[in-house]
A = this chain, B = another copy of it.
């Protein structure tokens, strides 16, 4: 996987959260995912495909973080991961991937997005079934952590 795919997603994710939710977040050290367990309780997933490359992008939020983000964006106090939160995760996934696709397009990588799929549940596990490595980047906010996962492969 070319690591130049990673940064546009991170930049876009931070931009979306700071703009939409006025939330400060800082990226930690990236690592390769070795297990299939998602770290959060709600995960937005986006598949992206192009002529030369394809991949998947996921953002997994712990419950306190996504409740904080939803509250900041809607001005309502929300205590459970309900349909409103699920929709919010879908929108955040869509916007973040969209911003990354725009950046990658300027670098000559053309990718088309699918529609976001949101997974929720305390015990869900996510595996990017790709032949390439999975890069995980942990993010810290005042309300807790969330995790971005990116996996891309070159089409042979």
Q: Kindly identify which residue among B55, B118, B120 contacts A114, using a CB–CB cutoff of 8 Å.
A: B55
- Is the pair B58, A127 in contact by a Cβ cutoff of 8 Å? no
Q: How far is the CA of A70 from the CA of B56 in the complex (A)?
A: 24
Chain A interface residues (CB < 8 Å from chain B): 36, 44-51, 54-56, 58, 83, 86-87, 89-91, 93-94, 111-130, 132, 151-153
**Residue pair B121, A54 in contact (C-beta under 8 Å):** no
Query: Cβ of A91: which chain B residues have Cβ within 8 Å of it?
Result: 129
Q: Is the CB of B47 within 8 A of A56?
A: yes
- Residues of B near A58 (CB, < 8 A) are 117
* Sampled A-B contacts (16; CB under 8 Å): A36-B83, A36-B120, A46-B47, A47-B116, A49-B111, A51-B112, A56-B114, A90-B127, A115-B130, A115-B151, A116-B128, A117-B127, A117-B128, A118-B129, A119-B125, A121-B125
| Chain B residues within an 8 Å CB radius of A94 | 129
Residue from A56, A117, A128 having most chain B Cβ neighbours under 10 A = A117
- Say how far A40's CB is from chain B's closest CB, in angstroms: 12
Cβ B124 vs Cβ A121 within 8 A: yes
Assess the A47–B117 pair: CB atoms within 8 A: yes
Structural contact, B114 and A49, CB atoms closer than 8 A: yes
Q: Given the complex, which residues of B lie within 8 Å of A112, measured CB to CB? A: 49-51, 54, 111-112
